[in-house]
Amino acid sequence: MTTERIAQHQLQNLAQTALLLAGMFGLLIALGWALSGLAGLVVGMVLASLFVFLGPAFSKAQVLRRFRARRLDMRSAPELVATVAELARRAQLSKSPELYYVPSRIPNAFAVGRTNDAAIAVTDGLLRMLRPRELGGVLAHEMGHIRNRDLWVMALADFFTRTTSGLSTLGKVLLLLQLPMLLAGQVVISPWLLLLLLAAPGLSMLLQLAVSRTREFDADLAAVQLTGDPEALASALTRLEQPRLSFWQKIFGPPRDLTPSYLRTHPSTKSRIARLRSLAAPTPNRLSDVDLASLSRQLDALGRGVRFHQPSRTAWLLFGR
């Protein structure tokens, strides 16, 4: 029953992702056609095709450098590296992703790179907050992103959004240059073109966020397949959702998050947990537990002399999980 449910969810997520990417591609093509007719259409299609073949624009080394990440190996974190290697084996990857430590107090994790040359980064805050079983669920979630080629999918969606925004800006500049002729009545601009120039970037961004939410659901399902333990990731999400309140927030209550769901990069934690717990497996194939005392000693060694920092909000929005 669980396998059938997972397959059903995966098919639904795949269809949603394909439709959303098609919508983003359609916006790009429509904007190219509106600006320069057949030539713009051809240029848009050529650019998209080149990106598909060349792969993601984000360099793994560049992203890890931005977060000041440090490579973990069998000497510095043997249990964690062994866990990642076991997950890679279960995911049938040709090469195990590298594991990196990010000196940040914010509990977070992300994957970056290509399927056969990927890296998983975990922050100090995440390693100290989660229990070993929960940590295994989060690592499996990131491994799911790698196995499902989500890194390429999200880079493609980002390319569509950036290109659409660039074409829209170009169109607005051209309209400004033609403003004297517009005022003199020598040139007539279609109101539909104006609407497209104004709305296309925002619509493309909304579609990109929807793609991100869909891929998060699929990575959750992949984590269940890799660990056979839905409760591990559900418990981790529950712990990560619990706010750490200041003195005044404990008295007056935590601030409400008023961000609409369609402006989020991730689905609501509540919906993710509900979906995970609906997939409870009767015989979980759990990962071997990390020794808590040993992990604590390793974290103390990693954090000794390290200057903790706060990555920018933009960096977390692009790469944080």
Active site residues: 142
CA distance 115 to 112: 9
Integer angstrom CA distances of residue 124 from 81, 255, 307: 15, 25, 11
Using DSSP's 3-state secondary structure scheme, residue 146 falls into helix
Integer angstrom CA distances of residue 299 from 42, 239, 319: 53, 19, 23
Structure tokens at 290: 């990390």
H or E stretch including 114?
Answer: strand 109-114
Query: Tokens 């992703």 map to which residue?
Result: 97
Distance from the Cα of residue 316 to its chain's centroid? 9
CA distance 166 to 160: 10
